[in-house]
Structure 1
């Protein structure tokens, strides 16, 4: 099949598998093979809109205001009657448009696409402006991006020095979208349940269930739109975060592993679903769009071995469950038996990706079909140089003074939270809560009365000793107290009561 398709050697296996399943379903329903790919999918739904880009200057014009850069004027020639017969039946209508602040002041705006949203008419305005040209080679600072499972992706910057050494700039960061992904998984579960129920109604073939089937179809469309909007928002937010990280680090290129090589298989039902439902392709497209505006190149690199080998010595890593459980097998924490490096699996992966991209930047090519930059294969001689060199630690023995000493005051007044609060008032307002005592109980436990001192320590939970006060729910020991602080009993000043000598 790869040989029969043009460029099939670069086609992901997931696309071939999904198309094969669509053909099998189509053949089982229609007892024949489809004519082309377009017969496998229904016609897309197109909203009501007016494409003004197809109009010439005699029917529509647009221009920016010379005094206000955020204002534009759209002039349309619209009919004055339902059946226009001559030129007198048309008239010019002016539509003022407010441009968002993201549109540059020197941008050239084009005729928009007018659409109806609710009871408002909105215009999707396209604009053109000059951006820096991206380069395939000559990069010294790069941002490595690694796709994750629990976290959407991890990113960090690396620098290539003149002598060929590659060092990491900082510890990196992670884009966490746990709340959005949880909502996405919930909508997917609802979507699958609705489809299962619709299929059950279809197999029953009962005319009395047609109304329920129509209601379920409407609900399926609503859930599909919610999933699409959620994926779109998540893709733009993640792409913007990655580009902002590259701009802050001064990077000129973003290296990320190819998302097409990630197939949902062999990692369990939960992780397979997460890999299938994430919006990595949309994030990559948005990242290329946003990075092109600031002159940053986006290059995909082969992900083979990025999480398997150490970023400092290329030794195969030992994956463990957690840093405090070095003997329990897992996949989150990585320990190198060679150089001793250890860290999060994703944090080591983005170091490997950034180092591999910087070492293989001379192998960067532009795909003829998609026009994107990518590194097709890994060269062993270049991969041997793609290691992260540890930065030299600065010495802290030099304690020479470099600036004025910050003044220190002897605070005799205790801090607010360390002072025992006054007695509870009878009214509903007035004072703050009574120190450590809970405020949602009408009757305080025996060990948590309002006269407890500020030096009362918490009850130890590791030992088997259960004090009498903690058993009542107070949470504080009856007789355990710490040493009083210095400000609790200030030293009396003998000069306070002495009068004036004059």
Structure 2
């Protein structure tokens, strides 16, 4: 086998983990814990023959801030990148042990398709009541999942085409050696493209798994939760959901996300427990009544049944079905703590069955007192409103007598509760003028004086004030 295989290609690196303390040591710097000193024993001649041909070389290493101050450093792997020596450093540090019982604050996580994760925290009080801490949050990856589905369809198309070429090559030649066939070159191109698409899908899934796991653990740390309850994923494809739905479920990286969550949660001592997913999206989180599902009120044009309503008039809970699911998962996990066991095969904490007496207490108690105000949820289309509202009507009659120096105002938009109009001038109105001031040196300012009139504007005099011209003064005697 070794003679038939090609020589393995490996990067230029120096694996120091196989060395003992007589060849390499590493320790933290005394004044600065952010630096470490790596000491190596290297030869000083091409062919060392004795101990004198070796010498110790010190290599200072700058530690990243992600390494805790109390972590124990292990010998790294040295590699050359860009003309510099890089160290892949491993370390270990003590973490608190995860507990199976005794949890007070838990994070419930629900799985979805377009909304990959929905999570929220719940608290178990001393009196046995369970309340939700906040409204929860969602990890939406619609764009990433759409790209993942496109790559999946592209991979299936490439595999179909490559299999077709393979059948054509074998049917025409019948010889297992197909290097000389005209379609051999095209087949190799397709195989190379399949490898590239597979690598892209792998990298995308890995990045998505780490991002989702980091988001989930950060939610638990922010809520000060000591346990994360995940619903069991093994029964999600066993209900005959159809080819398309099962394909989308199987292509998601749920298993990788669960492993990454366990890895990151172990650093802070947070337990990860698997709970049964039965009826988590079907029953109301407050009264365990079967919910009614319909379209979301804020997205009426989007297909699906994302919105859930409780038919019980005493409860009246409504919300996104994923938010109700994580509340049910968190409440079920907190009430079934005594049923948590450790699987001997996988070493994972699980709750295998749901106990009915405990399930009846797995309800979320509302934190706000319900008032008698009727439900004002939108049940129909919004009544159209005109863009030009009706003018305001006068709400008080006009004054019957003069209320001030300004006199009686005409009916209109002017207020009637003022005894004197602001900045109003004295009115001296007669037949020929609208308003003519008599004060010497006064210059009217027009509309700035108030009332909306030009106070210095003269009206046209009546016809009886203008003398008619004498048309007979220039005529002579009729004789």
- Of the three residues 146, 157, 167, the one matched with 2:110 is 146
Q: Distance in 2 between matches of 1:133 and 1:46?
A: 41
| 2:339 alignment counterpart | 363
| 1:500 alignment counterpart | none
- Give the 3-state SS of the residue equivalent to 1:194 in structure 2: helix
| 2:232 alignment counterpart | 258
- Give the 3-state SS of the residue equivalent to 1:53 in structure 2: coil
Alignment of structure 1 residues 343-358 onto 2, 5 Å: 343-358=319-334
- Of the three residues 237, 246, 266, the one matched with 2:211 is 237
Q: Distance in 2 between matches of 1:115 and 1:493?
A: 88
Say if 1:203 and 1:120 are closer, same or farther in 2 by CA, change over 3 A.
farther
TM-score (norm 1): 0.65
Question: 1:264–1:276: 8 Å Cα contact kept in structure 2?
Answer: no
Q: Distance in 1 between matches of 2:308 and 2:328?
A: 13
Question: 1:160–1:358: 8 Å Cα contact kept in structure 2?
Answer: yes
Report the CA distance between 1:256 and its aligned residue: 1.0
Question: 1:302–1:378: 8 Å Cα contact kept in structure 2?
Answer: yes
1:384 matched to 2:348: no
After superposition, give the CA deviation of every residue in 1:117-142 in whole Å (9 maximum; x if it has no partner): 67665433221112222211111111
1:300 matched to 2:274: yes
Report the CA distance between 1:199 and its aligned residue: 1.5
After superposition, give the CA deviation of every residue in 1:422-457 in whole Å (9 maximum; x if it has no partner): xxxxxxxxxxxxxxxxxxxxxxxxxxxxxxxxxxxx
Structure with the largest fraction of helix: 1
Report the CA distance between 1:325 and its aligned residue: 9.4
Alignment of structure 1 residues 126-165 onto 2, 5 Å: 126-165=90-129
1:52 matched to 2:16: yes
Say if 1:352 and 1:229 are closer, same or farther in 2 by CA, change over 3 A.
same
**Rg: which structure is higher?**
2
Report the CA distance between 1:61 and its aligned residue: 1.9
Report the CA distance between 1:91 and its aligned residue: 5.1
Say if 1:318 and 1:121 are closer, same or farther in 2 by CA, change over 3 A.
farther
Q: Distance in 2 between matches of 1:114 and 1:265?
A: 51
Report the CA distance between 1:373 and its aligned residue: 1.3
| 2:69 alignment counterpart | 105
Question: 1:153–1:176: 8 Å Cα contact kept in structure 2?
Answer: yes
TM-score (norm 2): 0.68
In structure 2, stretches of 5+ residues that fail to align are 1-7, 170-177, 372-382, 392-420, 425-447, 449-479
- Give the 3-state SS of the residue equivalent to 2:17 in structure 1: helix
Q: Distance in 1 between matches of 2:108 and 2:9?
A: 38
Report the CA distance between 1:296 and its aligned residue: 1.4
RMSD between aligned alpha carbons? Answer: 3.5
Q: Distance in 1 between matches of 2:46 and 2:236?
A: 55
Report the CA distance between 1:84 and its aligned residue: 6.0
| 1:3 alignment counterpart | none
| 2:316 alignment counterpart | 340
1:217 matched to 2:164: no
Q: Distance in 2 between matches of 1:82 and 1:229?
A: 42
In structure 1, stretches of 5+ residues that fail to align are 1-44, 396-461, 466-476, 484-490, 498-502
Question: 1:145–1:155: 8 Å Cα contact kept in structure 2?
Answer: yes
| Between 86-95 and 229-238, the greater mean CA deviation after superposition | 86-95
Say if 1:100 and 1:187 are closer, same or farther in 2 by CA, change over 3 A.
farther
Q: Distance in 1 between matches of 2:46 and 2:184?
A: 39
1:176 matched to 2:140: yes
Q: Distance in 2 between matches of 1:333 and 1:113?
A: 53
Count of matched residue pairs = 366
After superposition, give the CA deviation of every residue in 1:132-164 in whole Å (9 maximum; x if it has no partner): 222111111111000111111100111111111
